Amino acid sequence: QVQLVQSGSELKEPGASVKVSCKASGYSFSNYGINWVRQAPGQGLEWMGWINTDTGNPTYAQGFTGRFVFSLDTSVSTAYLQITSLKADDTAVFYCARVEFDHGYDFWGQGTLVTVSS
């Protein structure tokens, strides 16, 4: 069955970096894009961008350029979200989600809580 399994919660100090993983299984990884979504505490869903798992080409939403990097390791069917120079307001749950053309996000990871605090 299709699964997206994300790495565990992270506690980081301001200025540090974090790398969140999203491991896919149960389907052909390169056939579906991976999107990243941020949800700050008590807030709504915010689209961060997506990565084409066939070409590796990332697309970043406004507000998520510079410190945010999407990458892949296709040998292990895994997508990554790296955030550098962390700030307190980066504290959020980050979700990966599979996207199928014209179908929306049909499978989601369980979410990874990143807490930025000194």
40 binds other proteins (CB under 8 A): no
* Shortest reach from residue 16's CB to other proteins, in Å: 25
* Shortest reach from residue 63's CB to other proteins, in Å: 10
| Residue 98 CB neighbours (<10 A) | 25
Tell me how far CA of residue 81 lies from CA of 7, 103, 108, in angstroms.
11, 23, 15
- The helix/strand/coil state of 76 is helix
Q: By CB under 8 A, which span of 15-23, 40-48, 73-81, 84-92 interacts with other proteins?
A: 40-48
Tell me how far CA of residue 104 lies from CA of 34, 95, 99, 101, in angstroms.
11, 14, 6, 7
* Shortest reach from residue 75's CB to other proteins, in Å: 26
Binding site for other proteins (CB under 8 A): 35, 37, 44-47, 50, 59, 61-62, 95, 97, 99, 102-106, 108-111
